[in-house]
Amino acid sequence: MGACSFGGGLFDSGPPTAAGTGQAKVGKPYKINGVWYHPRDDLLYNHTGFASWYGSKFHGRKTASGERYNMNALTAAHTTLPMPSYVRVTNLSNRRSLVLRINDRGPFAKGRIIDVSRRAAQLLGFARKGVQKVRVQRVDRNGRPLGPAKPKETLVAEVPKSVAPAARGFYVQIGSYSDRLSARNLLPRLLGLGGVFIQPVFVGGQALFRVRVGPFESRAAANAALELVWQRGFSGALVFTEP
């Protein structure tokens, strides 16, 4: 199951090496099945597409980076990103996400943007399905997005329990969480979207922590922000109005 991976031949780089010790490189342009690919160090890479996975057929074979493929490691193949580099892959159907290390080239099937290891597919919840729509974003090895520094206008704040009702306007609500830490862990992934905050509320005597972006003066502005939120993997986000 899964797409093809080039673990040798065109991408051979000397004797096979142990996992994690492959050759670091961006690579030169190459051609597969009549299609040219141009590797580059794209710090802002953030795209939606279909992921596939590869398993036992390639286990132990040399990857494009020179290390041996381990289907139980958290690695992935990409057509153009550097090796090694790191990406956050988010399953858009269940919102599970993992940080994976790019150490191979592929997939070369139309419409697929990443080929993950069998273990990654299991943890992301699509090993039985084979192919899944995902968001792939370039990050560092700790899962932090790469690219420009935090914009000056970005506001990240936590609203105290005694806060008055939310100001009038439109909000993008990322979700409600029963655990404060889970809510706080989302904030770095929302930088640059404007006013990002956590608002504690009580529903049926239970404390919940809403993660919201806003307020926006119009629904059109909120919908534009919603599109950006979806692009970052939060497919369950919605626009809410505070009258």
Q: Which of 37, 129, 44 is nearest to 78 (CA)?
A: 37
The whole-chain average pLDDT of the chain stands at: 79
Six token digits for residue 142:
């700790």
The DSSP string of 20-78 is T-PPPB----EEETTEEE-----TT-EEEEEEEEE-TTTTTSB-TTSBBP-TTSSEEE-
- Are the CB atoms for 91 and 126 separated by under 8 Å? yes
Integer-rounded Cα Rg, in Å, for the chain is: 20
Distance between CA atoms of 32 and 176, rounded to whole angstroms? 45
Distance between CA atoms of 127 and 125, rounded to whole angstroms? 6
Six token digits for residue 217:
């003066």
Q: Could you read off the pLDDT of 9-46 as tens digits, one per residue?
A: 233 323 333 445 555 788 889 999 889 999 998 888 98
Q: What is the pLDDT of residue 17?
A: 37
| Backbone φ and ψ of 114, nearest 5° | -155, 150
In this structure, of 34-38, 87-91, 122-126, 226-230, the range with the lowest mean pLDDT score is: 226-230
pTM above 0.85, yes or no: no
User: Average pLDDT for residues 105-133, to the nearest whole number?
Assistant: 92
Q: What is the pLDDT of residue 147?
A: 60
Q: What percent of the chain has pLDDT over 90?
A: 32
Q: What is the pLDDT of residue 79?
A: 95
Distance between CA atoms of 66 and 20, rounded to whole angstroms? 9
| Backbone φ and ψ of 177, nearest 5° | -130, 140
Q: What is the pLDDT of residue 185?
A: 85
Q: What is the pLDDT of residue 196?
A: 86
Q: What is the pLDDT of residue 70?
A: 94
Q: Which amino acid is at 169?
A: G
More confident residue, 138 or 19: 138
The secondary structure of residue 123, as a DSSP letter, is H
Distance between CA atoms of 216 and 225, rounded to whole angstroms? 9
Q: Could you read off the pLDDT of 169-202 as tens digits, one per residue?
A: 788 899 888 888 888 888 888 877 778 888 888 8
Q: What is the pLDDT of residue 238?
A: 87
Would the CA dihedral through 196, 202, 204, 206 be positive or negative?
positive
Helix, coil or strand: residue 116: strand
The DSSP string of 92-122 is TTT--EEEEEEEE----STTEEEEEEHHHHH
Is pLDDT of 69 > 80? yes
3-state helix, strand, coil in the chain (%, to 5): 15, 40, 50
- Are the CB atoms for 76 and 117 separated by under 8 Å? yes
Is pLDDT of 166 > 60? no
Distance between CA atoms of 240 and 178, rounded to whole angstroms? 19
Is pLDDT of 148 > 60? no
Six token digits for residue 54:
């590869």
Please report the domains of the chain, with CATH numbers, ordered by start residue. 9-139 (2.40.40.10), 155-242 (3.30.70.1070)
